[in-house]
Amino acid sequence: MLYPKNLLAQTVIQLCKAKNVQHIVISPGSRNAPLTIGFTNDPFFTCYSIVDERCAGFFALGIAQQLESPVALVCTSGSALLNYYPAVAEAFYSDIPLIVLSADRPNYLIGIGDGQTINQKDVYANHILFSANLKLNYEYAPKNSNEHEPAIIKSIENKLERMLGVKQELDDENETKINAAINKAISLKGPVHINIPFEEPLYETTDKLTVKPKVIDIEVRKKKIDDFFIQECYDDWNTYSKKMILVGANQPNHVEQQILDELAKDSSVIVFNETTSNIHNKQFFNSIDKLIAPLEEADFHKLQPDILVTFGGLIVSKKIKTFLRKFQPKHHWHIDKKNANDTFFCLDKHIEATPNQFFNSLLPRLTHFVKSDYRTYWGEIKLVRDQKHQEYLADILFSDFKVFDSVFQALPEQTVLQLGNSSTVRYAQLFNLKKSITVFCNRGTSGIDGSTSTAIGCSKVSKKQTTLITGDLSFFYDSNALWNNYIPNNFRIIVINNQGGGIFRILPGDKNSKKFETYFETAHNLTAKQLCKMYDFDYDVAANERQLKTQLKTFFEESNQPKLLEIFTPRTLNDEVLLDYFKFIK
């Protein structure tokens, strides 16, 4: 087997292998050649070549999201690693493990005007769990440098024993940093950065593995929830008759169904779960905006919880955030092993545990439920809202709202659904999806920039069919995602093309001016047809309800190439239909 001759590259690769980092997404370059040679020549690794680093970052994120284990990104020096930044930020806020392996030039070549050089050290400082800035071995120091030559080299010149000692110290330091970075990505679920300086020559190979780096295991510290703390929670839980549980983005099957079913029995508890929560029970309220958008001031006082318990990722619904910030609970507890965001400005308990650990400690202590009509009252309102929802759908014109209803009904069982940001994920909050469908969306930063790339990465490792539903701006923004040789034939994209950023027509502002169309809505006449031709996608189109129903009948069937369905909706009607919806269901 071929190995890079570069010892630092060998060390990085062997430690990735030892820690079972199997999937490697590589963006072509020269400075990263030692890493590319090493990863691609070892059958242990599954390697992907993605030219556009921004797309590569989100592609890797999609893989890591599904596998829930680290994926490595490999790039050359210079601006290449800056293009990973949107994906790094998303991984940071969504708790997704990524390992950025950026090649760099030696220190003496930084800041002297050489090409493809920037200050790469700690470049992701505000959005990273750990930065490992590796050091070159002394043997690579420049022969004719003066003030740029490392001081340590000058002091040990011609002293062989001392040189060997320093070499070992540098090796130990680098190995310790690499171990620490990968361990952080695994244990804390997030992005880490390993910056690796390489001296030329870059392409030399050997058939012998020279290094045997030490492997430092992850320290596992099982933290038990303090019994006094649980008793304190129990006392409050048994005191109040209005408890609200709000669940954000959550991995499928991470919360025990037995816990969810037990919470559903308690009439003093209502559970609001977002579309991305991936939890289910008939008693839960899974369309938050549908329930609370039409409420009056007096209703909000009735809904105001005594205790709010939150877990999962960031919340999509602006309406629930506005409500809970104005009508604050007496207590807000957030359950998460790592972070607790004070989203509603009243957080008083960070429960450093998983939802399973907390509720398995709390629920067995409950000998009875607090008498309450909290869930019954709001359950009846929910039934009325659902009925009005169906009545409204039966009577509206072809529009975004109508399209989402048809598409969600047509989605096959067991689908992995990836949602684009902005309008798409917000519309999804208003509909009931099949329980077997698992839902994902890049809600860490809520950007539109990488939804397609993420979905393709997801589709590559998922055993189920993956469908991306996205808006036109998000799709065109990330169109380089299709420049990808790893898209499975069962991958599906549905682009809802309303010729601009339709969500801006819902927000306050003069939506009938030329400046609004140009600088906010960004109205356009683009279509995905030519992109599909270039990237070998089967292309279907629908512009009315009859065409949509016809296309959806066969869209998810087996095919010899991935498919894209572009649905054109009326740009100036969609906002009126949505705003009228909330008036109608009131």
DSSP string, 352-400: -S-HHHHHHHHGGG-SSPPP--HHHHHHHHHHHHHHHHHHHHTTPPSSH
**Beta carbons of 114 and 105 less than 8 angstroms apart:** yes
CATH number 3.40.50.970 given to 396-584: yes
User: Which segment of 231-240, 339-348, 497-506, 525-534 scores lowest on mean pLDDT?
Assistant: 497-506
Cα separation, 161 vs 159, in Å, equals 6
Q: What is the 3-state secondary structure (H, E, C) of 217-284?
A: CCCCCCCCCCHHHHHHHHHHHCCCCCEEEEECCCCCCCCCHHHHHHHHCCCCEEEEECHHHCCCCCCC
User: Residues 27, 29, 32, 37: is their CA dihedral positive or negative?
Assistant: positive
Does position 512 have pLDDT exceeding 80, yes or no?
no
Residue appearing with tokens 């002091």:
155
DSSP string, 519-574: HTS------SHHHHHHHT-EEEEE-SHHHHHHHHHHTTS--SS-EEEEEE--TTTH
Instruction: Give the class (CATH, top level) of 3-202.
Output: alpha beta
**Beta carbons of 88 and 179 less than 8 angstroms apart:** no
Residue appearing with tokens 């997404």:
25
C-alpha distances out from residue 301 to 329, 465, 488, 586, Å: 11, 44, 50, 17
Three-state secondary-structure class, residue 113:
coil
Mean pLDDT of 372-376: 96
- Token readout for 372 is 């309450």
Does position 303 have pLDDT exceeding 80, yes or no?
yes
Provide the pLDDT for residue 139.
47
Three-state secondary-structure class, residue 435:
coil
Provide the pLDDT for residue 367.
84
In this prediction, residue 224 has a pLDDT band, given cuts at 50, 70 and 90, of: confident
Which residues, 6+ apart, have CB-to-CB distance to 146 below 8 Å? none
In this prediction, residue 478 has a pLDDT band, given cuts at 50, 70 and 90, of: very high
**Beta carbons of 196 and 103 less than 8 angstroms apart:** yes
Segment 254-297, tens digit of pLDDT: 999 999 999 999 999 999 999 999 999 999 999 999 999 999 99
Closest by Cα among 242, 401, 215, 226 to 309: 242
Closest by Cα among 430, 414, 423, 545 to 490: 414
Mean pLDDT of 147-164: 51
- The residue count for the chain: 586
C-alpha distances out from residue 132 to 96, 150, 220, 435, 517, Å: 18, 19, 21, 42, 46
Cα separation, 220 vs 394, in Å, equals 55
In this prediction, residue 147 has a pLDDT band, given cuts at 50, 70 and 90, of: very low
**Beta carbons of 475 and 423 less than 8 angstroms apart:** no
Rg for the chain, CA atoms, rounded: 27
User: Which segment of 168-172, 184-188, 558-562, 580-584 scores lowest on mean pLDDT?
Assistant: 168-172
What does the mean pLDDT of the chain come to? 92
Closest by Cα among 477, 438, 476, 472 to 458: 438
Cα separation, 144 vs 132, in Å, equals 28
* DSSP for residue 126: G
Provide the pLDDT for residue 220.
81
- Look up the CATH superfamily of 227-380: TPP-binding domain (3.40.50.1220)
Q: Judge whether 3-202 and 227-380 match in fold.
A: yes
Cα separation, 428 vs 500, in Å, equals 19
Three-state secondary-structure class, residue 99:
strand
Q: Where are the domains of the chain?
A: 3-202, 227-380, 396-584
Mean pLDDT of 365-383: 94
98-104 and 347-351 strand pairing: unpaired
Q: Residue 477 forms beta bridges with which residues?
A: none
DSSP string, 438-504: EEEE-TTT--SSSHHHHHHHHHHH-SS-EEEEEEHHHHHHTGGGGS-TT--TT-EEEEEE-SS-GGG
* DSSP for residue 437: -
Cα separation, 49 vs 26, in Å, equals 5
- Token readout for 419 is 């949602």
Rounded to 10°, the helix 53-67/451-461 angle is 50
3-state helix, strand, coil in the chain (%, to 5): 40, 15, 40
Closest by Cα among 337, 295, 344, 292 to 315: 344
Provide the pLDDT for residue 163.
55
* DSSP for residue 308: E
pTM confidence score: 0.93
**Beta carbons of 517 and 566 less than 8 angstroms apart:** no
Closest by Cα among 208, 204, 209, 577 to 400: 577
Q: Half-sphere exposure of 75 toward its Cβ, with a 13 Å CA cutoff?
A: 28
Segment 59-115, tens digit of pLDDT: 999 999 999 999 999 999 999 999 999 999 999 999 999 999 999 999 989 988 888
Rounded to 10°, the helix 355-362/257-264 angle is 50
Mean pLDDT of 446-466: 96
> What burial letters (b/e) apply to 354-380, b meaning 16+ CB within 10 Å?
bbebbbbbbeeeeeeebebebbeebee
Query: Phi-psi bin for 110: left (phi > 0), alpha (psi -120 to 50), beta?
Result: beta
Residue 580: in which H helix or E strand, if any? helix 574-584
